[in-house]
Amino acid sequence: MKQVKKYPAAITIFGAKGDLTKRKLIPALYNLFTDNHLPPAFSIYCVDFLEVDPDEFRKDMLAGVNEFSRNGIAETAKWNEFASRLFYLQGDFQKKETFIGLGERLKAFEKEAAQTISRVFYFAVAPRFIETISDALYQHNLCNKDNLDRIVIEKPFGTDLDTAKKLNRFLAKRFAEKQIYRIDHYLGKEAVQNIMAFRFANYVFEPLWNKKYIDHVQISVSEQVGVGKRGGYYDSSGALRDMIQNHLLQLLCIVGMECPGAYKSEQIRDAKTKVMKSVRPYTTAEVFKNVVRGQYSAGLINEDPRPAYRKEEHVASSSLTETFVAAKLCIDNKRWQGVPFFLRTGKSMPAQSSVVVIQFKDSPHKIFKDDIVPNRLIISIQPELEISLLFESKIPGLQMKLKPVEMDFTYKESYTETIPEAYEALLLDVLHGDATLFMRADQIEAAWKVVMPIIDAWKKYPAKDLHMYKAGSCGPEAAHTLLKPYAKEWYELPFSKTVKALPDLKSVQ
């Protein structure tokens, strides 16, 4: 890891009582602390409007660490040291007194540190508070050092292209672009970061990474969970905005990008943005030919009954919101012209998995009659971190018979080091001022431009071709049809191959 000067850090989390803080942020910061990645002098200020006893808040955060940290139960001495720098501040985001009080705490910490500090402000809040908090930070001069002060904003970043542009302009008037960290936790996952290393550090693969050798690409993120308690948010968002516009398009960029001139933040982000801008936009008619949307009905997952989406809490009984999307996208550039990228995501699927499949073209000379399975590179992001290459091999014996076999690389077999959580990697990058894994304003807007024709088409014809699929199935049959003639069905990781997709129900007309 490159050496980075560790300035004393004042980390402020807005939305202290939310699930994100308890389940992800505090466990990540605690792990960074125990692994000696935080600077010697740091303070964490957690802000929310609820009146909470500070000691009770610390106990609640400890419960979060004990339950959700990759390292398990916290060591008492380490936790006590960490907790001594963890503070709860009660305050309304919409009142200036909150920011005046926060400013006083930051000044006191800076005086105690006796040197310049770095300030990080994490927005673990509903989108409606982003502008309110941003303006307050600006008005009270709490985040005004371009090189040391940063804000971190969770998705969703806007609800469409216009709102994303508006938010970008709003933030640009108050902060430098290099201060704004638009976070997508998928980019912090170890296996996702490894895709670039795999491509650009291994020359054996990079010459094959183009239209001459690759038939198609599948990027699939399946969620076993339904919407749970997020029905209110999800019903106004849907799978397209919640997953495709950010997570899956970011994976597409990493798979499809050109090799940057150097491993430097702006060059890497330039390469990703260039790919995004090359994705072919669709007309309304093309949307319904190349994009499949679905919604889960009641079904079974691991023998447990699951309700239909329309029966979930805070979901409208006649909702047309999609919980499943499969899309065929084309990248119009020299490297990828004619190679389709298939993206798929859905809730209430048979298993939790994220996988990228690079399927190569058939052998040009078919001299073996049973040479029928094309080479396939499989990058598993979750649940197992694994890269495998499928190739044909001769079965031992006196006859020339072929069988596809896999050559595997797995993290757990190759490394003894524990794998950091995505939020650990991303928070550390924020502290170091490294924006490589974060999205720039133009990249955000380019991603919205890709999905806007789909959003507009569905808005124009809200009930057209909304396919119902049973919870526990692999999605609507129409998603498999979308792959033809490139493949018969979506690739499923081995642990879920035994689960067959149930027949697609009649589309909602």
Q: Give me the active site residues, please.
A: 247
Q: Report CA dihedral (417, 423, 425, 426) to the nearest 10 degrees.
A: 170
Question: Exposed e or buried b for every residue in 216-228, given b needs 16+ CB within 10 A?
Answer: bbbbbbbbbebbe
Q: What are phi and psi of 263, to 5 degrees?
A: -80, 75
| Tokens 């989390």, located at residue | 13
Element at 477 (helix H, strand E): helix 477-483
- 3-class secondary-structure state, position 409: strand
Task: Copy the structure tokens of residue 265.
Answer: 């933040």
Q: In which region does residue 245 sit, left (phi positive, over 0), alpha (psi from -120 to 50) or beta (all else)? A: alpha
R_g over Cα of the chain: 24
Query: What contacts 276, CB < 8 A, 6 or more positions away?
Result: 249, 252, 253, 443, 446, 447, 450
Contact 250, 187 (CB under 8 A): yes
Strands 353-360 and 304-306 come out as unpaired
Query: What contacts 119, CB < 8 A, 6 or more positions away?
Result: 9, 10, 12, 106, 142, 143, 145, 148, 149, 150
Concatenating the DSSP letter of every residue in 217-258 gives EEEEEE-SS--GGGHHHHTTTHHIIIIIIIIIHHHHHHHHPP
Over 33-55, what HEC string results?
A: HHCCCCCCCEEEEEEECCCCCHH
Task: Copy the structure tokens of residue 290.
Answer: 């190349």
C-beta atoms surrounding 211 within 10 Å: 15
Contact 240, 322 (CB under 8 A): yes
Query: What contacts 238, CB < 8 A, 6 or more positions away?
Result: 321, 322, 323
Q: Which is nearest to 408 in space by CA: 390, 430, 383?
A: 390
Cα dihedral sign, 228-232-233-235: positive
| Tokens 């183009």, located at residue | 210
